[in-house]
Amino acid sequence: MRVLSGIQPTGRFHWGNYFGAIRQYIDLQHEEASYYFIADLHALTTVHEPARLRQLTIDAAIDLVALGLDPTKAVLFAQSDVPEVSELCWLLMTVAPMGLLERCHAYKDKVAKGLPAGAGLFTYPVLMAADILAYDSDVVPVGEDQVQHIEVCRDLAGAFNARFGQEVFRLPKAKVLDHSAKVPGTDGEKMSKSYNNVLELFEPPAQLRKKIMRITTDSRPIEEPKDPESDHLFQLYRLVATDAEREEMAATYRRGNFGYGQVKKALADAADRFFAEARARREALAADPAKVQAMLRDGAARARAAAGAVLQRAQQASGLR
């Protein structure tokens, strides 16, 4: 079984990205083969400062490895280092119905808001289909919001196979990541960089602690017993606490007579400990840019070998070459 997923380098990774997605990709790297890439071509639809895009791409690679992705096991690369994907994207474009793309939410939502949308955003799902099909992927782990794009990918692969009467592309399946893992932000809403409520994975510890101490809480009296499950501070704490700490904190909530300041301090301490190892690995990697570049080059070479074979199949089937 071959697993593939991509993540856009549109900002530094936050707890939502890690607990909602990255952690689960990393767990899947033990499957037969896994491909993980940094979707810098997709990010070009939103990030328009070249130096920033370059830095975010490198940071994403360093973060993923620091968090446990093993680049000797999984194939880790930058999307734009595999030009075969862009060629495949064109071939898929020739079987993509306009109506299908018009229904895709990224484009549709923007148009509905009266915002200008470019052809890059319109054809975004076709590039994503090329990403997936280029490596004969079987399983694509994604958040709920990307499931529609996997359906489009299956449609395009099926349409191409049908047009040329050959099984050129293997049809992938989405693996929807655990929905209960929705991580709240510092304001209690879903954590997202668009809401400015994120706890970044690798912000300096003192800054992170300050942000945690400022998390919004309610003003119920201290002595009132509280339900831990419905409190966003507890939802964050449970992600980084040990089982014993989590149980103890839940009991404290149910008993009442505690202040949120005490929970925040416990959260900051647990977070420090939870990410300490990754933080140390990150620092070591960041200090060795040549190693990171070599890692991405090696990943790209392995990815190109796989994508080249698939592209050749598609070219031959369609009368090119």
CA–CA separation, 235 and 249 (whole Å): 11
Among 117, 183, 173, 108, CA closest to 147: 173
Structure tokens, 129: 């289909």
Task: Check 108, 175, 182, 193 and give the catalytic one.
Answer: 193
Residue among 7, 11, 13, 8 at smallest CA distance from 202: 13
Minimum separation from the CB atom of position 22 to ligand TRP (A): 11
Rounded to an integer, what distance in angstroms lies between the CA atom of residue 25 and that of residue 127?
21
Does 91 bind ligand TRP (CB under 6 A)? Our answer is no
Give the DSSP H or E segment for 36. strand 33-38
Least gap, CB of 194 to ligand ADP (angstroms): 6
- Residues in the interface with ligand TRP (CB under 6 A) total 13
- Candidates 151, 173, 175; CA nearest to 24 is 175
Say whether residue 146 binds ligand TRP (CB under 6 A): yes
Binds ligand ADP (CB under 6 A): choice among 170, 193, 246, 279: 193
Say how far apart CA 106 and CA 121 lie, in whole Å.
7
Applying CB under 6 A, which part among 52-60, 84-92, 125-133, 247-255 lies near ligand TRP? Answer: 125-133
Q: How far is the CB of 218 from ligand TRP (least distance, A)?
A: 32
Q: Is 81 in the site for ligand TRP (CB under 6 A)?
A: no
3-state helix, strand, coil in the chain (%, to 5): 60, 10, 30
User: Toward ligand TRP, which CB reaches closer, 79 or 161?
Assistant: 79
What residues numbered 122-161 form the site for ligand ADP, per CB under 6 A? Answer: 142-143, 145
The reply on whether position 215 binds ligand ADP by CB under 6 A is: no
CB 6 within 8 A of CB 59: no
20 scored as a contact of ligand TRP (CB under 6 A): no
- Told to judge if 210 belongs to the known catalytic residues of this protein, a careful annotator would answer no
**Footprint of ligand ADP on this chain (CB under 6 A)?**
7-8, 10, 16-17, 20-21, 142-143, 145, 181-183, 190-194
